[in-house]
């Protein structure tokens, strides 16, 4: 049965893929975005679809609409963007959660929070399981995002306990794919853009720190599966790819797939940058019947193709970084 679905942050990287997926399943989608990091280009293919509606709005202000489900993705997610205005980043996570939870409460609609693996901080256990409380610096330069997302999770569970709101909390691990912002400072987009421009590949630290990279289509599949679980399933649930790679391995693979002559150079590691990041996805497998299917090489080939087209059009160079 077709639903009317609200996606906040719907013009962003993950949000635009989610909007496309929901419309392809016959739903009506209300995409809400303030375009701080989202881009109209990400949703241009949807604008003519009668099942798609776009509303420019900042979730730190209340929103009154009528929908059947709410996906709350609104928040800058890369250090370059969330550290630009850290106070606003925290407000987006916290006030945005309060406003969307209030809407869900009024509508009696299920609401999914796009949380993050950053709630684990620089983890002292590996891989990370949902029961781990994390190792987060509450006063560092990344805290606006890490603690904002942790507070949002607190609000979700308090609304669940106090007001019986139907919540779903999903902890997203490193995700990549087409429609990534070329200047977001994330490792995959950084490496690809540098490789395609035949620039040096910049690695922070010694390159031995690890990450696990999930292709965006897999991530969105897990998100939709979680939203449509029984009301008793609240999460938090890790969604990500458990295959672990060092940053140096990623750099070398990108150089190979981009047919680039770029060389790898090293610079200082940012403050509070986690040394390891790998999800334990046993809960996602058991509860959602979900696991990633796209291997890193396959996903990188698709992502490199997107950036090749972007660079050939000259758009990446003009993509403003806030």
Q: How far is CA 69 from the centre of its chain?
A: 19
Q: Quote the DSSP letter at residue 118.
A: G
CATH superfamily label, 4-180+214-242+275-294: NAD(P)-binding Rossmann-like Domain (3.40.50.720)
Residue recorded with tokens 């496309």 = 20
What b-and-e string marks burial along 206-243, b requiring 16 or more CB atoms within 10 Å of the CB? Answer: ebebbbbbbbbbbbbbbbbbbbebeeebbbbbbbbbbe
The HSE-up count of residue 167 (CA atoms within 13 Å, CB side) is: 29
DSSP state of 285: I
Predicted model pTM: 0.93
52-81: per-residue pLDDT in tens? 999 999 999 999 999 999 999 999 887 788
Give me the catalytic one of 71, 145, 159, 176: 145
* CA angle 76–207–131, rounded 5-degree value: 55
* 127-170 pLDDT, tens digit each: 999 999 999 999 999 999 999 999 999 999 999 999 999 999 99
What is the helix (H) or strand (E) element at residue 72, kind and residue range?
A: strand 69-72
Is residue 210 within 8 A of residue 245, CB to CB? The reply is yes
Query: Is 176 considered catalytic here?
Result: no
pLDDT of the residue at 205: 86
Higher pLDDT, 211 or 101: 101
User: Does pLDDT of 207 surpass 80?
Assistant: yes
> Is residue 320 very low, low, confident or very high in pLDDT (cuts 50, 70, 90)?
very low
pLDDT at 321 over 80: no
pLDDT at 241 over 50: yes
Whether 316 has a pLDDT exceeding 80, the answer reads: no
Residue given tokens 């969105």 in the structure block: 220
Helix pair angle (296-312, 247-257), 10° resolution: 60
Percentage of the chain beyond pLDDT 70 is 97
Best CA proximity match to 30, nearest among 7, 47, 3 = 7
pLDDT for residue 307: 95
Q: Which of 104-118, 182-196, 286-300 has the lowest mean pLDDT?
A: 182-196
């Amino acid at each position: 049965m077709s639903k009317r679905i609200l996606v906040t942050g719907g013009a962003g990287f993950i949000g635009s893929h989610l909007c496309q997926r929901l419309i392809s399943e016959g739903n009506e989608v209300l995409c809400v975005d303030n375009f701080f990091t989202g881009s109209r280009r990400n949703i241009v293919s949807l604008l003519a679809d009668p099942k798609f509606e776009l509303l420019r709005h900042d979730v730190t202000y209340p929103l009154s609409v009528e929908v059947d489900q709410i996906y709350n993705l609104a928040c800058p997610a890369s250090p370059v963007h969330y550290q630009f205005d850290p106070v606003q980043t925290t407000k987006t996570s916290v006030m945005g959660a309060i406003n969307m939870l209030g809407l869900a409460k009024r509508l009696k609609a299920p609401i999914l929070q796009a949380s993050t693996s950053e709630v684990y901080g620089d983890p002292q256990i590996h891989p990370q399981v949902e029961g781990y409380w994390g190792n987060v610096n509450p006063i560092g330069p990344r805290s606006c995002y890490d603690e904002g997302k942790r507070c949002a999770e607190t609000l979700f569970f308090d609304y669940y306990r106090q007001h019986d709101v139907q919540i779903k909390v999903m902890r997203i691990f490193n995700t990549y794919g087409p429609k990534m912002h070329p200047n977001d400072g994330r490792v995959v987009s950084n490496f690809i853009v540098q490789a395609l421009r035949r620039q040096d590949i910049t690695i922070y630290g010694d390159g031995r720190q690890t990450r696990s990279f999930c292709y965006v289509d897999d991530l969105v599949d897990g998100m939709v599966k979680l939203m449509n679980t029984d009301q008793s399933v609240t999460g938090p649930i890790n969604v990500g790819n458990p295959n672990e790679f060092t940053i140096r391995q990623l750099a070398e693979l990108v150089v190979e797939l981009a047919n680039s002559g770029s060389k790898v150079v090293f610079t200082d590691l940012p403050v509070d940058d986690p040394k390891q990041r790998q999800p334990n996805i046993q809960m996602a497998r058991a509860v959602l019947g979900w696991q990633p299917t796209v291997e890193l090489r396959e996903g990188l080939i698709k992502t490199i193709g997107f950036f090749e087209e972007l660079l050939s059009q000259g758009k990446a160079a003009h993509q403003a970084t806030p």
